[in-house]
Amino acid sequence: GLTLAEIKFKEKYDLQPITVIREHEGKSVFGQPRQMEKVLGLLSDNFILKAGDKLLFFGSTRAIEKFIGVDEG
């Protein structure tokens, strides 16, 4: 994966990444394996994104709509 700095996330999308929610293998209260989600804390420019990451970011409505591909017309 690439870091946020390497992909120039802030400059390219005009959005501030805050944190990532990442799935990992965990165990239920009964000890059974299951997929769980973990919030990884505040992100730095050196944070490496992985496929499947859920990114939480801050920005203007316009920048968010552009990022997710909403057509303003």
Rounded Cα–Cα distance for residues 41 and 37 (Å):
13
How far apart CA 21 and CA 3 sit, in angstroms, is 16
Average pLDDT score over the chain: 90
Measured in degrees and rounded to the nearest 5, phi and psi for residue 44 equal -110, 170
* pLDDT tens track for 37-60: 999 999 999 999 999 999 999 999
Q: Which residues contact 29 (CB under 8 A, 6 or more apart)?
A: none
pLDDT band at 27 (very low <50, low <70, confident <90, very high): confident
What confidence tier does 70 reach under pLDDT thresholds 50, 70, 90?
confident
| pLDDT above 80 (res 71) | no
pLDDT at residue 73, as a whole number:
53
pTM of the model: 0.72
Q: Is 65 helix (H, G, I), strand (E, B) or coil?
A: helix
